[in-house]
Homo-oligomer: A and B are copies of this chain.
């Protein structure tokens, strides 16, 4: 159908022509004016408190205390359960967040600008590993780190990014793919290359070298630091590609720990959801499948633009980390994702596949026809609030989302 093909070419061009630059770090309320007191943005499609999973409830309670809307976690939980907190998806406000994906008014957000289409997208700063809010952590250590990110790290790094005139992200991702990153469960290379670029600017703009050293060490000790930047980049790239009538290309994939949700360009803001699946993967010592929460987070935005599970061939080491089989077979994942995508990204290539581009542009028709669903490299959170990460794995997008979307699209186009 020519309408569909034309629409898809347009969507694809918009995805590939994006020019994402990291331009700032600012408090959330400054870039999302609608973000009020007692309002929390979360990962995934819309969800109410009563359907939220354990770690998301834990993160919500922590975020409430962090913002000072309650004095302690039990009071915070009561507040949320009593309907006193307004919940919205990050995606409704140009934002994304990993795992629980908490975004509240005072949190510092990365600002990524897509220079080609003059739009912006946002993501909070990666907190590091261990017990952290994105995995449902909410104790004093978690809140203390968030306060440091807000009061010290965010302002320090923001100043450097502004002084640098922004940081081009496509080139960092291209380098990272040649250095073993797939940009979801492995961001070591991009985090390191980002530090190479920003460190001189941090030195030029810093007045307190103890703070400077602390900030450099924070980036240097967090192998996943770049993930949140990549996520904001993914959002900045996909937003202009959404809402092209007739297009069957997926512009959003995300999950809230209860539901998996997708959006398709031709159907704009409409969500198609299905129960989220359980990741299959490897667990940290002392944990097993029975501790795991179903999959969670807006981070699947990176798979939506051809990274993560789609770029597994670039990162054979990650195949082992997420329990996806032999590292030497990592390229099978990338080849398989090539069956459900309409193009390769000529700027993001994989050396081990003789510089083939990452598979880009998930077509719901190809997914439904083949039964091959997108694979997503993901972290695994404990199902109880307050505990944190217990492993990493691979999860599949539920086929039902794509089936619903194709039916809705056919109806929209008057085909049935």
Taken together as a complex, chains A and B put the C-alpha atoms of A316 and B212 apart, in Å, by: 36
CB < 8 Å: which of B178, B199, B200, B209 contacts A180? B178
CB-defined contacts of A119 to chain B, threshold 8 Å = none
A188 located at the interface, meaning its Cβ lies under 8 Å from any Cβ of chain B in the complex:
yes
Chain B nearest Cβ from A56, distance in angstroms: 32
**Binary per-residue interface labels of chain A (311-355) against chain B in the complex, 1 for a CB within 8 Å, 0 otherwise:** 000001100100000111010000000000000000000011111
Number of copies: 2
A408 located at the interface, meaning its Cβ lies under 8 Å from any Cβ of chain B in the complex:
no
Given the known inter-chain contacts A328-B353, A328-B354, please indicate yes or no for A220 contacting B200, CB distance below 8 A.
yes
A196 located at the interface, meaning its Cβ lies under 8 Å from any Cβ of chain B in the complex:
yes
Smallest CB-CB separation from A207: which chain B residue? Answer: B209
A415 located at the interface, meaning its Cβ lies under 8 Å from any Cβ of chain B in the complex:
no
Chain B nearest Cβ from A348, distance in angstroms: 13
Taken together as a complex, chains A and B put the C-alpha atoms of A214 and B203 apart, in Å, by: 9
A204 located at the interface, meaning its Cβ lies under 8 Å from any Cβ of chain B in the complex:
yes
Most B-side CB within 10 Å, residue of A199, A209, A316, A355: A199
List residues 181-225 of chain A with CB under 8 A from any CB of chain B: 188-189, 192-193, 195-197, 199-201, 203-204, 206, 209-210, 212-214, 216-217, 219-220
- Whether B189 and A316, one on each chain, are in contact in the complex, defined by CB atoms closer than 8 angstroms, is no
Smallest CB-CB separation from A196: which chain B residue? Answer: B220
CB < 8 Å: which of B175, B210, B354 contacts A327? B354
CB-defined contacts of A217 to chain B, threshold 8 Å = 200
- Whether A193 and B192, one on each chain, are in contact in the complex, defined by CB atoms closer than 8 angstroms, is yes
Interface residue tally for chain A (C-beta within 8 Å): 38
- Whether B209 and A204, one on each chain, are in contact in the complex, defined by CB atoms closer than 8 angstroms, is yes
- Whether A196 and B200, one on each chain, are in contact in the complex, defined by CB atoms closer than 8 angstroms, is no
- Whether B197 and A203, one on each chain, are in contact in the complex, defined by CB atoms closer than 8 angstroms, is no
A167 located at the interface, meaning its Cβ lies under 8 Å from any Cβ of chain B in the complex:
no
Most B-side CB within 10 Å, residue of A192, A203, A206, A355: A203
Query: For chain A, what secondary structure do more than half of its interface residues adopt (helix, strand, loop), or is it mixed?
Result: helix
A70 located at the interface, meaning its Cβ lies under 8 Å from any Cβ of chain B in the complex:
no
- Whether B352 and A328, one on each chain, are in contact in the complex, defined by CB atoms closer than 8 angstroms, is yes
Chain B nearest Cβ from A126, distance in angstroms: 15
- Whether B199 and A220, one on each chain, are in contact in the complex, defined by CB atoms closer than 8 angstroms, is yes
CB-defined contacts of A206 to chain B, threshold 8 Å = 203, 209
Chain B nearest Cβ from A199, distance in angstroms: 5
- Whether B195 and A199, one on each chain, are in contact in the complex, defined by CB atoms closer than 8 angstroms, is yes
**Binary per-residue interface labels of chain A (135-165) against chain B in the complex, 1 for a CB within 8 Å, 0 otherwise:** 0000000000000000000000000000000
Smallest CB-CB separation from A221: which chain B residue? Answer: B196
- Whether A317 and B196, one on each chain, are in contact in the complex, defined by CB atoms closer than 8 angstroms, is no
CB-defined contacts of A220 to chain B, threshold 8 Å = 196-197, 199-200
A39 located at the interface, meaning its Cβ lies under 8 Å from any Cβ of chain B in the complex:
no
Chain B nearest Cβ from A195, distance in angstroms: 6
Smallest CB-CB separation from A218: which chain B residue? Answer: B200
Taken together as a complex, chains A and B put the C-alpha atoms of A111 and B261 apart, in Å, by: 55
CB < 8 Å: which of B209, B214, B327, B352 contacts A209? B209
Interface residues of A (CB under 8 A from B): 175, 178-180, 188-189, 192-193, 195-197, 199-201, 203-204, 206, 209-210, 212-214, 216-217, 219-220, 316-317, 320, 326-328, 330, 351-355
Sampled A-B contacts (14; CB under 8 Å): A180-B180, A180-B189, A189-B192, A197-B220, A199-B216, A199-B220, A200-B217, A201-B213, A203-B216, A326-B354, A327-B354, A328-B352, A330-B352, A352-B352
- Can you add 14 more A-B contacts, CB < 8 Å, to A179-B188, A197-B220, A328-B353? A175-B188, A178-B180, A180-B180, A180-B189, A192-B192, A195-B196, A195-B199, A200-B213, A201-B213, A203-B213, A203-B216, A320-B351, A327-B352, A352-B352
